[in-house]
């Protein structure tokens, strides 16, 4: 799991969801691939996906339920999960702030 | 005011202050200059400075009182203020989320 991304373009305007409970900054790497660095505050949120997403957990703990799954699975810092494209997932943080790297495509 | 920074290194771990009320992601440009992209949630906060700071407001509105100043001055999106090095300032957001670019040195 990278600690940093070099040679990227960083977009200054943040992505804000659920009134600021989920926020991220967008990076675009040299190959044009989109990456977001995000924070999730306590709560439970549902997202749809367009492209497939790789989620690397940087800090904190989140629980994730992919579309069609029965229950939530916990992902602490240092773990990774994948969300199929054209799908959806629920993500919950019970306490503190979880941080992630989301790689699209 | 830039919409993006290209050719930078982006640090994945966010900077979190005041229990998440102020958060930012750090960029380092090609010349080694540090820049942060940040968000400020409603509240009032005091910061110390090491290096001088240039604050470009990307979204929302904040009010700022520099050390030694009598009152707060409002800075909406699109405006810029400067904080001397080895000093301090108070920054307040009354509603919504303010976003900034902080350039150090």
**Residue A40: its pLDDT value, please?**
98
| Residue A56 covered by a domain | yes
User: Does ipTM surpass 0.90 in this model?
Assistant: yes
Burial of B83 (0-12, 13-18, 19+ CB in 10 A): buried
To the nearest whole angstrom, how far is the Cα of A70 from the nearest Cα of chain B?
A: 31
**Residue B74: its pLDDT value, please?**
98
| Residues of B contacting chain A (CB within 8 angstroms) | 1-14, 16, 20, 23, 25, 27, 37, 39, 41, 58-59, 97, 99, 101
CATH number of the domain enclosing A85: 2.60.120.10
- Portion of chain B with pLDDT greater than 70, in percent: 100
User: What is d(CA B80, CA B54) in angstroms, rounded to the nearest whole number?
Assistant: 7
**Residue A30: its pLDDT value, please?**
95
Domain interval for residue A46: 9-104
Average pLDDT across chain A, whole number = 98
| Residue B1 covered by a domain | no
**Residue A70: its pLDDT value, please?**
94
| Residue B3 covered by a domain | no
- Portion of chain A with pLDDT greater than 70, in percent: 100
| Residue A95 covered by a domain | yes
| Residue A14 covered by a domain | yes
**Structural tokens at position A23:** 């926020």
- Interchain CB distance below 8 Å, A3 and B10: no
| Residue A75 covered by a domain | yes
Q: Contacts of residue A39 in chain B, CB cutoff 8 Å?
A: 14, 16, 20, 23
**Residue A87: its pLDDT value, please?**
98
Tally of structural domains, chain A: 1
Q: Contacts of residue B7 in chain A, CB cutoff 8 Å?
A: 7-9
| Residue B43 covered by a domain | yes
Q: To 5 degrees, how large is the angle CA B80–CA B91–CA A39?
A: 90
**Structural tokens at position A92:** 């919950």
| Spans of chain A below 70 pLDDT | none
**Residue A90: its pLDDT value, please?**
98
To the nearest whole angstrom, how far is the Cα of A28 from the nearest Cα of chain B?
A: 9
- B8-29: pLDDT as tens digits: 999 999 999 999 999 999 999 9
| Spans of chain B below 70 pLDDT | none
CA dihedral A18, B21, B77, A29 (to 10 degrees): -70
Q: Count residue pairs from A and B with Cβ separation < 8 A.
A: 85
| Residue A32 covered by a domain | yes
- Interchain CB distance below 8 Å, B8 and A8: yes
Candidates B5, B12, B99; nearest CB to A14: B99
Contact B23, B17 (CB under 8 A): yes
Distance between first and last Cα of chain A: 17
């Amino acid at each position: 799991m990278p600690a940093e991304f070099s040679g990227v373009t960083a977009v200054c305007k943040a992505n804000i969801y659920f009134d600021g409970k989920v926020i991220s900054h967008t990076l675009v790497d040299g190959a044009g691939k989109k990456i977001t660095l995000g924070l999730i505050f306590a709560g439970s949120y549902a997202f749809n996906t367009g492209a497939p997403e790789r989620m690397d957990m940087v800090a904190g703990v989140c629980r994730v339920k992919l579309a069609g799954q029965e229950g939530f699975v916990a992902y602490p810092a240092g773990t990774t999960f994948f969300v199929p494209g054209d799908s959806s997932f629920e993500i919950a943080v019970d306490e503190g702030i979880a941080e992630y790297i989301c790689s699209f495509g």
